[in-house]
Chain A
Amino acid sequence: MRDAFSRCLAQAAQADPRLLLLTGDHGYALFDEFRRVCPDQFINAGVAEQNMVGVAAGLAKAGFRPVVYGLSAFVPVRVLEQIKLDICYEQLPVVFIGDGAGLVYGQLGSSHQSTEDIAALRALPNMAILSPADAHEMTTCLKLAFEGIGPVYVRMGKADLGVVHAQPPLFDWGQIYPVAEGNGPLAWIATGAMVTTALAVAADWPGSPVWSVPCIKPLDAERVAAICRRHEAVIVLEEHSIYGGLGSAVAEIAAAAAPTWICRIGVADRFSERCGSYAYLMREHGLDATSVRRQVEQFMARNGLHSNQLAESRRAA
């Protein structure tokens, strides 16, 4: 996914001299290609993210197309107010890239983990939020982001979990689409790196459709409501706090348009307790496949839902 990002960025910059890449001294080797092919469009703004976002605003006002890169723990969180006032209020076409979203920088601790970025940005008017699941979704997401219609945040999570798609899927703003079809009682909605987990676990409930959500905001409310109506329960997976992220967005739509059971699986309202690798922390937070499966079973049992086909199939065997 990082390769796709790096390649798309360099291509876009070559095609459009207005594109300027700003980084707060992050992304060392990631931008080798970019710096090689368009060195004049690369700006290292130093370890000073507040200024970097303000400078991006000024550049955008004057007709440039800034792309602001940072770790998602810092951009958007550290500079939320600059994004709110300097960028979103002015509806400026600035693309923010938040790298290492979720628990990717596991061992470095809470400063470098980001499980609140979606929630923070969802509350900002005019801000679009993209969250690609693999390199192919990243390619399409960047294409949308570079259209330059306004502020966009591209959330870049764990990069090496394999591909979901065989080629860049075609989707537009707000669109969500199935990566597994089915009319079973459970529907799965996932974003970012959790799409691969959703695909793996949903297979235990035969006939479960899995929807990938590369565009969290705007979100196709009618489509989500239709999914909520069609299935007994909806399982939402994200590598983000269960507060304010995709699960919340789906639950909000369901509450208003199609009340149903929504099982939100994400990071509970707490920080990581221990040092650990990505895999370790995904287990600690209950986001590995085994933990997800167990949480879904518990959710179904607790709420008296009877579509636990995994258990049934195990009994039959």
Chain B
Amino acid sequence: MTQRFDPIRLRRTILEMAYAGSTVHIPCAMSIVEILAVLYRSYLRLDPNDPDCPERDYLVLSKGHGVMAQYACLHELGWLSDADRQAYFRDATRLKGLSDAHVPGLEVSSGSLGHGLSVGVGLALAAKRRGTSQRVFAVVGDGEANEGAIWEALMFAAHARLDNLFVFIDANGLQAMGTTAEVMNMGSLVEKLTAFGLESHEVDGHDHAALANTIDELLASKEPRPKGIVAHTVKGKGISFMEHDNTWHYTRLNAQTFAAAMRELGPEIAAA
């Protein structure tokens, strides 16, 4: 019996999709696997039969480059088929290389960075205005946080007291051209989130229990503020030769690297 949203299986799905579609952006999907796994497994209130259920919680992937991790979760839900997984990135198929809201289960089209969080803020504001208990979980990249629009969104969310908004910063420390410290040193993100009015914590973004504890603590909070979680992660997590190596942001798998990566993840877990 396997658990749904098992991180190893999600990573295997990511690798299979990336290999089948010969795509890049693998490491930025690997870094958010535990964040998405925790959210999908324990927190997101979804209708398994209706991705567009109007009362659902929202998972807004603002860093659209990590979409393969979300595809893997949608595959766990049964919203994407094995055929979808195999067809990813191919001509005339529906799964594009970046997050696209035309795919049931994806909430935003966030190929361009700095867009998704604001849409998530709008969804959170809508929930408040409609008087529903819906929550918005937004996942933002630390490189993406270079975008001014991210800080506009945080200012607005705090001003509007959107305590139903949970902003995860995937702090993997790498962005397209180098480390975040080299490219645009933003200092302490948790201090910045706090300064922008969010109730904020730092956490190991690959520690399932720590993530869950942090979310539980923030859910229990009575403070009328949006919540910030700076999740320290490793880009390429789980694949030794991808971890900390930014060239893999742009590198495709070949038969050898695919096999090596799959071997590192361990043997196939028996299906439930």
Q: How far is the CA of A52 from the CA of B152 in the complex (A)?
A: 9
A48 touches B121 (CB 8 A): no
Per-position 1/0 for B144-161, Cβ under 8 A of A: 000011001101100100
Interface pair B126/A59, CB less than 8 Å apart = yes
Asked if A50 and B152 sit within 8 Å, CB to CB, the answer is: yes
Any A CB within 8 A of the CB of B101? yes
A62 within 8 Å of B (CB atoms):
yes
51-103 of chain A: CB within 8 A of chain B: 51-64, 81-82, 85-86, 89-90
Most buried by A among B114, B123, B125, B126: B126
Mask, A3-42, CB within 8 Å of B = 1, is 0000000000000000010000000000000000000000
**How many residues on chain A are close to B (CB under 8 Å)?**
25
Cα A46 to Cα B160 in complex, Å, equals: 11
CB-CB under 8 A from A54, the residues of chain B are: 115-119, 121-122, 149, 153
A sample of 25 cross-chain residue pairs with beta-carbon separation below 8 angstroms, ordered by A number, consists of: A46-B152, A46-B156, A46-B159, A48-B152, A48-B156, A50-B149, A51-B121, A51-B153, A52-B118, A55-B122, A55-B156, A56-B122, A57-B119, A58-B118, A58-B120, A58-B121, A58-B123, A58-B125, A59-B126, A62-B122, A62-B126, A62-B127, A64-B126, A85-B112, A86-B108
Binding site for A on B (CB under 8 A): 54, 101, 107-112, 114-127, 129-130, 148-149, 152-153, 155-156, 159
Max chain B Cβ within 10 angstroms of own Cβ: one of A20, A55, A59: A55
User: Nearest CB to that of A79 among chain B residues?
Assistant: B149
Residue in B closest to A58 when the chains form the complex, CB atoms = B122
Give the residue of A50, A52, A64 whose beta carbon is less than 8 angstroms from that of B129: A64
Q: Across chains A and B, which 9 residue pairs bring their CB atoms closest together, nearest first?
A: A58-B122, A54-B118, A62-B126, A51-B152, A48-B152, A55-B122, A50-B149, A58-B123, A58-B119
A151 to chain B, nearest CB (A): 14
C-alpha spacing A61/B115, complex, angstroms = 14
Contact A86 B119 (CB under 8 A): yes
Q: Quick one: which of B101, B107, B118, B124 contacts A51, CB cutoff 8 A?
A: B118
Measured CB to CB, the closest approach of chain A to B121, in angstroms, equals 5
Whether a CB of chain B sits under 8 angstroms from the CB of A45 is yes
Q: How far, in whole Å, are A62 and B152 apart by their CA atoms in the complex?
A: 21
Q: Which residues of B contact A82 (CB under 8 A)?
A: 115, 118, 149
Residue from the list A46, A50, A59, A85 in contact with B122, Cβ < 8 A? A59
Interface centre among B122, B123, B124, B129 (most CB of A within 10 A): B122
